[in-house]
Amino acid sequence: MNTVLLTVLVLSILGLVLALVLYFVAQKFKVEEDPRIDGVQEILPGANCGGCGEAGCRAFAENCVKAESLDSLFCPVGGNETMKMVAEYLGRTIDEKAPRIAVVRCNGTCENRPRTTIYDGYVSCSVMAALYAGESECRWGCLGGGDCVAVCKFDAIKMDGVTGLPVVDEDKCTACGACVKACPKAIIELRNKGPKNRRIFVSCVNKDKGGIARKACGVACIGCGKCEKICPFDAITINNFLAYIDPDKCKLCRKCVAECPTGAIHEINFPVRLPKKEEAITVEQ
Amino acid sequence: MSRTFSLGGIHPHDKKISANREIGEFPLVDTAYISMSQHLGSLSEPVVAKGDRVLTGQLIAKSTGFISANIHSPYTGIIHNIEPWPDLSGNMVLHIIVKVEEDEWIKGIDLDPSVERNIKLSKEEIIKRIAECGIVGLGGAAFPTHIKLTPPPGKKADILIINGAECEPYLTSDYRLMMEKAEELLVGTKIMMKALGVEKAVIGIEENKPGAIKKLKDTARKDYSEIEIESLKKRYPQGGEKQLIDALVRRRVPSMGLPIDVGVVVQNVGTAVAVYEAVQKNKPLIDGIVTITGDCLPDQRNFRLRVGTTFEKIIDVVGGMPQEAVKVLSGGPMMGKAISKLTAATVKSTSGILFLSQEQTKRAPENNCIRCSKCVQACPMGLEPYLLNKLARASRMDDLEENMIQDCIECGCCAYTCPSCIPLLDNIRIAKASVLKIMRSRARK
């Protein structure tokens, strides 16, 4: 019985002494931290995705508190709302930024882009890209290994089983840019989400000459320049046989979409086009 | 008592089905596609223009920069075009396309098959001639030979090793070369010894090639007493530079170091013969011995094949694509690369073309690591592949560097031996490239 009591007593005293030591040490070596960092961190989404370019939300919060102006800092996940709250909390102002979304610029489905080889190795885009140009004749397009799906922390990108291409979920995508970094072929781009989520982009990254590109894929951009000519806002430029639409200049007039001979320019979330007048009449007759 | 390297290694199925086929001459092709990237280092620069007529052996592209090599025309014909053309992995590389007319050699090349034993050129002239003739290492990496034969200042070689291990299953090109060009090989070795200023050379041959060992020993007995012929135990990857040095002279190349750091230079037997032809006969490197083999191929062959021959043409010559073949490799089954474009052409370092059937290429599904440590035992560099694989998947670059991922020679022993079929090498290779990039950028700072 004595042993039990003694044990309890010794341990209790030991615990008490150590607790006191720890308390005084903690007081002595206390790190002074700006309390606002905790405040900002609470406002942030806490996804720790690294989309802002920092290691995590804590590092971003520290930067927000330290920085002179908030202009160069942006949390893509929280978007304008979060940034406004952060600015309010810190008593600063911030310009609103256009919301963005990840866009997959390849439409090389099995139908559009016939497969010429079969890959039976380890399924990963980075491994495939290091080994060879890809299963089809197009050496620029999506490899379909799903590295973008694996890195997405928001479950916003999925592989389509039929087309073999990744599909971005508009509601879930936060434009953190993880998929952009993961893609070895640089197919995914962050573009403006656009008014009413409407946007136009060239769904191809093939920089080969028109003939080669067309032979490899039915819906490749062949760099013909028709879209560049028809665009009234000079938003389209052609480099290396590939058209690129500047999202800041584009006014979403959709002239280029109709002009593209291969259908490489995609429009998203637009209402269905009304048939032309003559056609409407014939339908009535 | 045969020697071998001290750490790891595996014993893959020893199949040399084309070993007894003599080296045959390949028929003339219609069009040759000559890559400007046939060697390690910067691309060569074409010195001919579209429409020019070139002779066999004429210089068509010259080396650019320090690590680069000259390229010569393998045939006589008209330059059809100079444009990007897919290489065997489907990536576009600048090629010179020659419409072949005939096989008329340029003047100044000695085509007499008799062996020229007397080495007339001086040390500097030899290295200059090797550089002019565009000789690259034919063991696989295609490193320009003249650079390897000029050790950096402050370092000196004291022994030359000639690699006749040919540890890859199926390939027999080096074996055939040793059988048919034994004396040329020995003269080539002597030339390189003179260029390096070393007194001793060792030729290492695996003991599954007794014919080659006997032939070389018989030939060397007469006039080549300074060249030793050493028999090696059969083990993969014995043909790896570091493993071969360990096996033959028991020296350890330091991490991230080169063989010259321990006073050794390693050259392949193919390179030795190419050096002989360049120095004694003034013949540039435009052809090499290529084994065309595979269990599903009815007629296995060894060819003296010119650079720039398309794989399509080769398949035609050996009787068309075998029905069971589902995969065609350039190189052996362990280190070879799958050919995704048959329109691509051979390069200087092509050593074999291997046809594999469905049965042979089948990949079993990946399972969990059972911690059997087979990969650790098999790794010839003393690494821990299972750990590197885990760290690579988590992108932990610092830890990878600490665990010496940069020493990986990508031999594939770990993946070969893994009972859970984990793609160890695939993951390690990608991570190794990233780690090397980080180390290089840090070194630049």
Tell whether B277 and B300 lie within a shared domain. Answer: yes
CATH of residue A174: 3.30.70.20
**Do residues A160 and A70 share a domain?**
no
Kindly state whether residue A188 falls inside one of the protein's structural domains: yes
User: Residue A105 corresponds to which amino acid?
Assistant: R
Global ipTM? 0.82
Domain co-membership, B428 together with B331: no
Asked if residue B46 belongs to a domain, the reply is no
State which residues form the domain around A47. 35-90
Q: Are residues A170 and A198 in the same domain?
A: yes
* Chain B residue at shortest CA distance from A208: B92
* Residues B336, B421 within the same domain: no
What is the 3 state secondary structure string of chain B?
A: CCECCCCCCECCCCCCCCCCCCEEECCCCCEEEEECCCCCCCCCEECCCCCCEECECCEEEECCCCCCCCEECCCEEEEEEEEEEECCCCCEEEEEEEEEEECCECCCCCCCCCCCCCCCCCHHHHHHHHHHCCCECCCCCCCEHHHHCCCCCCCCCCEEEEEECCCCCCCCHHHHHHHHCHHHHHHHHHHHHHHHCCCEEEEEEECCCHHHHHHHHHHHHHHCCCEEEEEECCCECCCCHHHHHHHHHCCCCCCCCCHHHHCEEEEEHHHHHHHHHHHHHCCCCCEEEEEEECCCCCCCEEEEEECCCEHHHHHHHCCCCCCCEEEEEECCCCCCEECCCCCCECCCCCCEEEEEEHHHHCCCCCCCCCCCCHHHHHCCCCCCHHHHHHHHHCCCHHHHHHCCHHHCCCCCHHHHHCCCCCCHHHHHHHHHHHHHHHHHHHHHC
Q: Is residue B283 part of a domain?
A: yes
Residues of A with CB under 8 A from a CB of B: 116-118, 120-122, 124, 126-127, 130-134, 139
Judge if B354 and B414 occupy the same domain. Answer: no
pLDDT band at A92 (very low <50, low <70, confident <90, very high): confident
Do residues B319 and B424 both lie within one domain? no
Whether residue A184 contacts residue A126, with contact meaning beta carbons closer than 8 Å, is answered with yes
Instruction: Point out the domain boundary residue: B321, B341, B362.
Output: B362
**Domain limit, last residue, from B313, B329, B362:** B362
Contact B69, B44 (CB under 8 A): yes
Q: Are residues B342 and B436 in the same domain?
A: no
Domain boundary among B362, B388, B423: B362
- Cβ of A121 and B361 within 8 Å? no
CA angle A141/B432/B420 to nearest 5° reads 85
For residue B367, tell me if it sits in a domain: no
What residue type is B440 in one-letter code? R
* A285, part of any domain: no
Residues A184 and A75 placed together within one structural domain of the fold: no
Contact B427 A132 (CB under 8 A): no
Is A260 part of a structural domain of the chain?
A: yes
Q: Does residue A124 sit within a domain?
A: yes
Same domain assignment for residues A218 and A84: no
Q: Is A122 in contact with B427 (Cβ distance < 8 A)?
A: yes
* Residue B96, domain member (yes or no): no
Q: Which amino acid is at B182?
A: A
Measured between beta carbons, the chain A residues lying within 8 angstroms of B86 are 133, 139
Question: Are B363 and A120 within 8 A, CB to CB?
Answer: yes
pTM: 0.84
Query: Does A280 fall in a domain?
Result: no
Hey, what are A3's tokens?
Answer: 């042993």
Q: Which chain B residues have any C-beta within 8 angstroms of a chain A C-beta?
A: 86, 89-92, 326, 337-338, 340, 361, 363, 366, 423, 426-427, 429-430, 433
How many separate domains does chain B show? 2
Q: Cβ separation of A132 and B423 shorter than 8 Å?
A: no
Domain assignment present for B261? yes
Domain extent for B356? 1-23+107-362
Same domain, A49 and A183: no
- Residue A22 has φ and ψ, to the nearest 5°, of -60, -40
In a domain, A211, yes or no: yes
Looking at the structure, do residues B270 and B143 belong to the same domain, yes or no?
A: yes
- Assess whether pLDDT exceeds 50 at residue A284: no
Whether residues B316 and B293 fall in one domain = yes
Whether A104 and A86 map to the same domain: the answer is no
Q: Is residue B102 part of a domain?
A: no
Do A115 and A80 lie in a common domain?
no
Same domain, B216 and B338: yes
| Residues from chain A contacting residue B427 (CB–CB below 8 Å) | 122, 127
pLDDT digits (tens, 9 = 90+) for B112-156: 888 888 888 999 999 999 999 999 999 878 899 999 999 988 899
Q: How many CA atoms are closer than 13 Å to the CA of B325, on its beta-carbon side?
A: 20
Tell me how far apart the alpha carbons of residues A215 and B79 are, in angstroms, rounded to a whole number: 25
Q: For chain A, how many structural domains are there in total?
A: 2
Q: Do B423 and A117 touch (CB under 8 A)?
A: no
Q: Are residues A113 and A210 in the same domain?
A: yes
Contact A120 B426 (CB under 8 A): no
Nearest to B350 by CA among B290, B404, B300: B290
Regarding whether B420 and B322 lie in a shared domain, the answer is: no
Residue-level pLDDT, tens digit, chain B, 445 residues: 578 898 899 988 888 888 889 999 999 999 999 999 998 889 999 999 999 999 999 999 999 988 999 999 999 999 999 999 999 888 889 999 999 999 999 998 888 888 888 888 999 999 999 999 999 999 878 899 999 999 988 899 999 999 999 999 999 999 999 999 999 999 999 999 999 999 999 999 999 999 999 999 998 887 888 899 999 999 999 999 999 999 999 999 999 899 999 999 999 999 999 999 999 999 999 999 999 999 999 889 999 999 999 999 999 999 889 988 999 999 999 989 999 989 999 999 999 999 999 888 888 889 999 999 999 999 999 999 999 999 998 889 999 999 999 999 999 999 999 999 999 999 999 999 999 999 999 998 8
- Chain B residues in contact with A117 by the CB 8 A cut-off are 340
Q: Are B265 and B148 in contact (CB under 8 A)?
A: yes
